Structures are given as C-alpha cells and as structure tokens.
Amino acid sequence: MRIPRGELRRSRVVDDAAAVLRAVLDEELTGYVVFEPQDALLLGETTSGVVTFEDGIPVLAYDTEREVGGRDGLEGFAVTGPTRAAVHAVDTAALADAHEVEAFRIPPGDPARVLAGDERLAEQTVDAAPAARRDEGRDQSAVEAFLADADAIEEIRSEAREEARARASEWGLDDVLADDARDSAAIEPGTDSR
C-alpha cells in the first residue's frame, strides 16, 4: 500500500475521531488522515491507520500496523477514546493509483460509523458523496453471496470465538465464560494471551 506523502496541515490529539472526520468533510479535503488511538498506546500497543479522502469523502482505509486494508483494516484502529489525527493534503491525481485498489476501498459512511460510532455524521457523509458512491455497501447480491459462503462465515465465527476467549483472559472474565468456551480454551493452545 503506497500513499504519496502529503503536506501536513495539522496534527493534534482529539477526543474522538468524529471531530476530525467532520472537519475534513467540511473543508472537502483531498488527502489522508493518520489516526493513532492514544488508549492503545497506554496499553503498550502501537495502533495506527490511514483513511484517504477525495473532496472530504472517505475512499479507502488501511491499518498500517497489521497491514490490512478495507473494512477489516478500519476496524484495526477503531479504538474508543482520544486519538492523534494528522491531516495531510495530497493532489487528487497523485492519489488516483492508490484509490484503484478495490480491496482497500470502504463505503463513505464507514469511518464515521466504525471509528466514531457517529451515525448522524455517517449519514451526512453519504449524503455529501457522489451519487455513484452512495449505495456502496448496500448491494443485495453481495449480501446473498456472503451468506451463501458457509466456510467464510464459519471463519468469521471461529475467529470471533478465539478473540472472545483471549480477551476474556485479558479482562479477567474467564470465570464467566460458558463451560464449553472455557473447555475449548483449555484445549487449544495460544488462546491465553498474557
């Protein structure tokens, strides 16, 4: 994933990502914002990600630590609480190549929704997006295809189970895990995170 280096406009810690996304939408930024959730730092983890924009509308997302793009990438740096946001401007033409990477593209409302849980801002962003982008993420045939792929669904579920068990250990919630979840946690190696 290569995004051309932009001109730094501002870098500051904000209470949540919504303020930055709103400002970028208002100023119709073309460029990118680097997000570094501060709570992750406190936990000793480095988390950061990039969202690119065209005229203020989010185009793609990339988790720079895990090197994952798209919706999954976005979730990687969706940490509640203060975040450092560095806003950079880039020429539209310079971003064109990066924006062609389909796998990293995200529906316009997703950053507001996922990073900030701000549905109103998500709706405003979708309303402000070009007509061709407004229905992204609402393709019924894609939903049907997703649900028809039983193996992929099982993968999502088993990953979530693993994650739930690992986090229960981290959070001291082991004792309230269901018996079968605890049993499989005991059998399978590598789920005990700390």
Partner 1 sequence: MVEAFAVASGKGGTGKTTSTLALGMALAEDYDVTVIDADTGMANLLFHAGLDDADVTLHDLLVDERDAAVSDAVYERFGMSVVPCGTSLAAFEAADPGRLRDVVAELAADADVLLLDSPAALGSKSAVLPVVLADRIVVVLQPTVPSLSDGLKVQEYAHSYGTDTAGVVFNRVRPDENVDKIAEQAGRYFGGQTLASVPESDAVRAARREGKPLLAHAPEDPAADAFREAAARLDVRDGDGRDVAERFKSAVVPERI
Which stretches of the chain bind partner 1, using CB under 8 A?
Answer: 15, 71, 78-81, 107, 109-110, 113-114, 117-119, 122, 137-138, 140, 142-144, 146-148, 150, 153, 156-157, 160-161, 163-165, 167-168, 171-179, 181
Q: Whose Cβ is closer to partner 1: residue 10's or residue 120's?
A: 120
Least CB distance to partner 1 at residue 124 (A): 12
Q: Whose Cβ is closer to partner 1: residue 10's or residue 138's?
A: 138
Residues 6 or more apart from 168 whose CB is under 8 A from it?
A: 174, 176, 177, 181, 185
Least CB distance to partner 1 at residue 91 (A): 30
Burial-class residue 27 by CB neighbours within 10 Å (0-12, 13-18, 19+): middle
Least CB distance to partner 1 at residue 193 (A): 14
φ/ψ of 116, rounded to 5, equals: -120, -10
Least CB distance to partner 1 at residue 80 (A): 5
Report CA-CA distances (Å) from 120 to 30, 110, 117. Answer: 22, 12, 9
Q: Whose Cβ is closer to partner 1: residue 41's or residue 94's?
A: 41
Tokens for 128, please give them: 């402000």
Q: Whose Cβ is closer to partner 1: residue 2's or residue 151's?
A: 151
Least CB distance to partner 1 at residue 160 (A): 4
Residue 174 CA to residue 166 CA, distance in Å, equals 9
Tokens for 122, please give them: 């998500």
Least CB distance to partner 1 at residue 159 (A): 8
Q: Whose Cβ is closer to partner 1: residue 94's or residue 181's?
A: 181
Residue 143 CA to residue 137 CA, distance in Å, equals 9
Nearest one of 42, 41, 59, 43 to 51, comparing CA atoms: 59
Pairing state between β 49-54 and 57-63: antiparallel
Q: Whose Cβ is closer to partner 1: residue 32's or residue 77's?
A: 77
